[in-house]
Structure 1
Amino acid sequence: MIAAPPRPAAFAALAATRPGPAGAAFLRSGVHARRLLLLKALLVRVRRHRDELAPETLRGFETAWSLLERTERGAPGVVRGVLDYPTTGAWLAAALTEPVGPALDRHLARLELIAATAALRAGRPLDLLVRAPGGVLSLPGVGSVLVAPGPVRLTSRAQVVRIRSEGASGAPAALLRLADGRTGAVTGSGPGWRGLRGLSGGATRLDDLDPYRVPPGGVGTPARFAAERPDVDHAVWSGHWRAARELLRRTDRDRAAEVGRAVGALVPLRPQGPRSVGATLSVAPGAVLMTPSAGACDMAETLVHELHHSKLSTLHELVPLYRPGSTAALYRVGWRTDARPVAGVFQGAYAHLALADLWWRARDAPGVPGAWGARAAQQFDHVHDQVGEALAMLLESDELTNEGREFARQMRQLHASLGASPRARG
C-alpha cells in the first residue's frame, strides 16, 4: 500500500527515530487503513469461494460482518481498537493466505469473535451463536474462555455477557462485564475464563493467550515460540516493565511515552539464554515479542530496538524505502555474522540508531543509575561506528527509492550529531 509521505518535519523526526505526534499519527492511520483494506480483501475472498466453504462457516462470517458493521456505526472508535489490535493483523494474514479447506474455515471463525469483542466493548446487545476452534473462545485484547466442543452462545443483559456452550445445558456460565464504557475495559468470571493482564502505566497488555500472537512455526532463527500462561510470571514481567519504563523516563521522557503508547501487546516467548531476545511481526505492528528480560536495562533496550523495527516496517509499507525484491546485493554489518540484503541493513541500522540515541542520552542524563550510564557509554561506543558503516552502505546502494535515500540521509544527520559530546549537543 503506497501513501503520500508524511510532512517533511514528521518524516525527518521518524528518520531521526524521535517520537512525535505527527509521525505517530501517520503510522497509526496507515495501520488502520491497511487493516480495512485487508478485511475487505478477506470479504472478497469469502464471496469468491462461498460455494467451497462449509455452510456454517459462511453463515457465521456473514452474521459477524453484519454485527461489526452495526457496531461500527454506533461506536467507530471501539471497532477501530479491536481491528487495530496487533493479533488482528496476524489473523488477517493467516486467513488471506490459507488454502480453501478446513483450516481456512477455522480462521474465518475468528471474525465472529472479533465482532463479539467489539460489541461487548461497545456495550451493544448480543445474542450470537459462535464457534470456538479448539475449544477456546478467544476475544482479542480481552482474554479467552475454555469451552466444551461445539457452538457457544453469547447473550447480554445490562452490559453483562453470558457465555454458555450449547451442548452443556445446566453447566455454569462464564460472565463478562463491561467495566468501563469509556475505555472498553472488560472483566470476567466463571468457569474457563482467563483474562489478559495489563501492565502498569498504560493500556499495554501482557498477551499470553491469543492463538495468533506467535506464528505456529515460531519467529526468528532459531525459531522462538510463545510462552504459555502457566509459565508466565506476571509479577516479574510487570515489575521489569515498570522498571524499564522508569529507566526510559529518566533517560528520555519522549521515548518512554512512545513505548507506552505504541506497544499495545507485550508477548512473552519461551526463555532462551540469560538476556532477552526480541522480535516483531510486520503483520502485527504494536506487538513486541520477547523472551524474559534480565532486568530493567535489558527490557528497555529490547523495547526500543523492537519498536523501531515495527515503525520502519509500517513506514515501508506506506512509503517504500527500497525497491521490491531488492535482494541483488548482500552487505556485511557489524551486528550480524551473516550477510544481509538491503532490507536487513535498513532495519538494523534504524533499530541500532535508536539505541545509539538512547545510550547517548543516558551517558549524562541526570538521575539515571550509575550502572546504566556506564553501560550506555560502553554500548554507544560499540554500536556508533557500526551504524555509520551501515548508513554509508545504504547511501551508496542503488536499491533505495528516492524516499528511502532521503530517509537514510536524515538518519545520517542524527548519527553525525551523536559524535559530539552529550553536553555540547545540549
Structure 2
Amino acid sequence: MPGERTASADLPFHQLSAMSLGTLVRGEGGGAATVEILAAERSRRLLLLRALDEGLSEDDSPPVYGTALSHRDAWSLLERVQRHAPEVFEDVLMSPPTGMWVSLALRQMRGKSSEDAPLWVVLGHLSALAAAAGARAGQDFSLAVPVRRGLVSLPTLGCAVLPVREPWGVAQVESAQGELTISGEHGQVLVPRGAEANGPGWHAVRHVVLESGERSKRLPLEELDPYRTFPRPSEPRLLSAAEAGAWEGMLADAWEILLRDEPESAEGMRHGLLSIAPTPTRERFRSYSGTAGDAFGGVTASCPDDVPQLAATLVHEFQHTKLGGLIHLQPLSIARAAQDPEELFYAPWRDDPRPLSGLLQGIYAFTGVTRFWRVHRYAAGAGQASSAHFEFALWRAQVWATLNLVRGHERLTALGQHLVEGLHDQCAQWLADPVPDAELELAREAAADHRARWRAHHLRPPAAGVEEAVKAWQRGDDHAPAGLAAEPELVPDSRFGLLDTAAVLVRHRLSEPDGAWRQAAGDAAGVEGATGADVLLACDDRAGARAAFVAQLSGEGPPVAAWVGLGRALAGEGQVRNAASRVLLRFPERARAVHEAVEAATDRAPDPVRLAEWLGQGRG
C-alpha cells in the first residue's frame, strides 16, 4: 500500500527474462516483454511515491479560504481504494500523468522548480489523485483538493471548472452514495453520475476504443490533466468535435494497420500504451510527438498527416517507451565524469547535436520506424507505396550510419554494447531489401542534404586553416591549402532549425506531385524553411536551382543551407563541377567559412561556384 513502511533485504528485484531481453535488443519486444517492463515501472512508481510521502508535511499546505489540504487524508483514501478496488488504484497509479507529477513534485520539493504553481499546489495534486480514485471506486469521502486557475483536475476522471478570483485555491470534493460534488469559494459543480459524461462545469476524460470484442483497448485521449505534457505541465486543451472525430477515426485505422503490419508492436501497445495527449496541429510532414521516461506509456502528439504516419508515430514513441523502461532497469551508457565535456554526435533525425544517451534513444526509435515502413510499403495503397518506399530507404540508411558511428563506443555498458550489436545485426539484414531506383535516389539525396546542412551549421574549420585558405585564394593558388582539411570544431548553433526541408519537399512531391508546394516562395505554400531555390531543386530543375542558390550566396547574409543546395545543383555538370558538388556536400562548412572570411578581408564576396570549384581541387 502507498503508506507501507516495511522493508526487507530479501525483497526480490526486477529482472527481464532472457527471451524478453533478446527481443528488446533487436528493437522488437511484444506483449510479454512489455508486461515485464510494466511491472518494474509499477515498482518504480511506488518507490517515488514513498519518497514523496517521506518528505511530505502537513505544514506544506497552508490554509486557503480556511481550508488546508491533508496529505494524511489523501494517503488514507488511496489505501482504502487499493484494498477495495485494486483495479482502480492501479489505473490511477500507472496513468502516465501520475508518473510525471510525482517526478516533478519530488524535484520541486528539492528546490528544482519546474512550474509556476506554488509547492503546496503541486504536492496537493496527491489529494486530486486520491479523490479521483475514491470517486471511481464508489467510496464515500470528503477531501480538499487544489484549484489551478479555476480548474479542478481529477486525474483519469475529468476536470471541473469553478469561478475564482485567485490563480491558486482549494475546493472540497465530496462523494456520498454515488453523488460527486466539487465546491469552491464561489461556486459548485455537480458531476454527472458515473462521471463519464460532460455536464455543466464538468469535462469528462475522453476515450477511444480500439478494436472490438475481448481484446479491445480503451485508450484515454488526455486533454485535461495538467501533467499530461512534459517536461512541464500545461493548461487543459479541449478538442473540438472535428478534432476529436479525426483522432478517433485515425487511431482506429492506425490500429488496424498495426495489427496487420506490426502485430508484435500492437500487442506490446495493448499493454503499455496508456494514453495519448493531443497537441495542436503542425505543418504537414512536420508533426510533433514525444514521450518521457517518467510518464511511462504516455504519448503526446500533434494530429498526424495521415493514418500510416500515425501508425509509424505510435511505433516510434512506443520504442522510446520500451527503451526508457529498459534503461530504468540497467543503463546503456556510462555516465561521464562531471569535469569531462559532453561528447556530442550527429543525429540524422534532429537539428541539434546529441549526447550518446540521446543518440541511442533515436537509434532505437527509428529502428522501429524502419521496420514498420519495410513491411507497410507492400501493403500500402497505390497512391502511398512510393512514399512508403522512400521512408524505408531513408530511415534504413540513417539508422545504419548512426549504428556504425556508435558501435564499440567506450562509454557503452555491456548491455549497451549488446543492444547496439543486436540492432546492427537487425539492420544489416535489411540492407539487401530492394527499393525502387527513384525512391532510393530520393532517399540518398535527402540523407546527404540533412547531414550537409548539419555540418554547415555546427562545424567550424580551424581558424588557421581558414586564414591560410584566404591568403591562397588572394594569391590565385590553384587549389585550397591542406590546412583547411584539418578536423573541424563542433560549435552547436541553436539559432536555426528545419534541417529536414529536403525530405519534407520529397514527401510533398511523392504525395502531391502537382501540389501547391511547387509554387512555394519562402513558406508561402506551407513548407517552412523552403526557398524558391529548394523548390526548383525538388522539381529537378537543377539549372534554375543553381542560379537561384548563386543569387542567394551572392547577396547579403546568405542562408547557410544554400551551400548545400548549390552542391546538389552542381552534380552531374562535368568533372570540375562534380568535384565542387562533392566538397559542398561533404564539407560545406569549409565553403561557408572561407566565403565569409574572404568577404571580410576584401569587402567583396567571392563567386560561390568559383570558390566551390577551387575548394574541390584541394588536397583535403
Q: Secondary structure at the match of 2:226?
A: coil
Alignment partner, residue 197 of structure 1:
206
Question: What is the SS of the residue equivalent to 2:431?
Answer: coil
* Kept after mapping to 2: 8 A contact 1:226/1:270: no
Over residues 1-42 of structure 1, what are the superposed CA-to-partner deviations in whole Å (9 max), with x where a residue is unaligned? x96541121011112232423311121112211111111111
User: One-letter code of the match for 1:164?
Assistant: S
Structure index of larger Rg: 2
Alignment-derived partner of residue 405 in structure 2: 393
Amino acid at match of 2:418: E
Check if 1:187 corresponds to 2:196. Answer: yes
Are 2:132 and 1:117 equivalent residues in the alignment? yes
State the alpha-carbon separation in 1 of the partners of residues 69 and 232 from structure 2. 30
Kept after mapping to 1: 8 A contact 2:96/2:298: yes
1:142-291 equivalent positions in 2, closer than 5 A: 142-149=157-164, 151-165=170-184, 167-168=186-187, 173-178=189-194, 186-201=195-210, 202-215=217-230, 228-229=237-238, 233-275=243-285, 276-291=287-302
- Secondary structure at the counterpart of residue 20 of structure 2: helix
Deviation for aligned residue 1:231: 5.4
Q: Secondary structure at the match of 2:327?
A: helix
Preserved CA contact (<8 Å) 1:226 1:269 = no
Q: Please, what TM-score do these two structures have when normalized by structure 2?
A: 0.60
Per-residue CA deviation, residues 121-177 of structure 1 (Å, 9 max, x unaligned), is 222222333332322111112210112445433333443323333654xx6x42243
Gaps of 5+ in 1: 179-185, 219-224
Stretch deviating more after TM superposition (66-75 or 369-378): 369-378
Contact 1:304 1:354 in 2 (8 A): yes
Q: Which letter does structure 2 place at the counterpart of 1:114?
A: L
Contact conserved, 2:69 with 2:145, CA < 8 A, in 1?
no
SS in 2 for 1:200: strand
- Residue 360 (structure 1) aligns with: 374
Name which of structure 1's ranges 53-62 and 189-198 shifts more when overlaid on structure 2.
Answer: 53-62
Q: How has the CA–CA distance of structure 1 residues 42 and 10 changed in structure 2, closer, same or farther, with 3 Å as cutoff?
A: same
Distance 2:349 2:160 in 1: 43
TM superposition shift of 1:415: 1.5
Contact 2:69 2:124 (C-alpha < 8 Å) held by counterparts: no
* Equivalent residue number for residue 384 of structure 1: 396
Relative to 1, partners in 2 of residues 1:113 and 1:330: Cα closer, same or farther, differing over 3 Å?
same
**d(CA) in 1 for partners of 2:378 and 2:236?**
37
Aligned residue in 2 for 1:407: 419
User: Contact 1:64 / 1:112 at 8 angstroms: preserved in 2?
Assistant: yes
User: Aligned to 1:68, which of 78, 93, 97?
Assistant: 78
Is the partner of 2:343 in helix, strand or coil? coil
Q: Distance in 1 between matches of 2:268 and 2:28?
A: 9
Root mean square deviation of aligned Cα: 2.7
Q: TM-score, normalised by structure 1?
A: 0.85
Give the aligned partner of residue 183 of structure 1. none
Deviations 1:178-232 (A, max 9, x none): 4xxxxxxx424532100121123122111111111224768xxxxxx87721557
Cα distance in 2 between the residues matched to 1:332 and 1:414: 22
Larger CA deviation: 388-397 vs 208-217: 208-217
Give the secondary structure class of the aligned counterpart of 2:410. Answer: coil
| Matches of 1:68 and 1:227, distance apart in 2 | 25
CA 1:215 to 1:381, structure 2 compared with 1: closer, same or farther past 3 Å?
closer
Structure 1's 3 and 334: CA in aligned 2 closer, same or farther, altered over 3 A?
A: farther
**Per-residue Cα deviation, 1:30-75 (whole angstroms, up to 9, x for no partner):** 221111111111111114xx54552578752111011111211222
User: Which of 38, 43, 58 lines up with 1:28 in the alignment?
Assistant: 38
1:116 Cα deviation after fit: 1.1
Q: Of the candidates 324, 330, 335, which is equivalent to residue 319 of structure 1?
A: 330
Report the CA distance between 1:408 and its aligned residue.
1.7
User: Is the partner of 1:138 in helix, strand or coil?
Assistant: strand
SS class of match (2:282): coil
Contact 2:60/2:119 (8 A) holds in 1: no
Check whether the contact 1:162–1:176 (CA below 8 A) recurs between aligned residues: no
Do structure 1's residue 128 and structure 2's residue 143 form an aligned pair?
Answer: yes
> Quick check: 2:45–2:93 contact (8 Å CA) kept in 1?
yes
Whole-angstrom distance in 2 between the partners of 1:246 and 1:394: 35
Cα 1:156–1:67 shift into 2, 3 Å: same
Given the alignment, which residue of 109, 119, 138 partners 1:104? 119
Q: Partners in 2 of 1:79 and 1:192 — Cα distance? A: 26
Distance 2:61 2:335 in 1: 34
Gaps of 5+ in 2: 1-11, 211-216, 435-620
Q: 2:520 aligns to what?
A: none
Could you list the per-position Cα deviations for residues 286-321 of structure 1 after superposition, in whole angstroms to 9, with x for gaps in the alignment?
Answer: 111111211102211111111211221221122111
CA contact (8 A) 1:174 1:188 kept: no
Deviation at 1:285, TM superposition (A): 1.6
Partner of 1:182 in structure 2? none
Shift of 1:420: 4.4
Distance across 2 between alignment mates of 1:244 and 1:354: 15
1:339-354 → structure 2 map (5 Å cutoff): 339-354=353-368
**Residue 418 of structure 1: how far off its partner (Å):** 2.3
Residue matched to 1:94: 104
For 1:412, the aligned partner's letter is H
**Residues in 2 aligned to 1:118 and 1:166: alpha-carbon distance in whole angstroms:** 24
What are the Cα deviations for residues 244-293 of structure 1, in whole angstroms up to 9, with x where unaligned? 22222232233234334422211122232113221112221211111121
Kindly indicate whether the alpha-carbon contact (under 8 Å) linking 2:171 and 2:184 is maintained by their aligned counterparts in 1.
yes
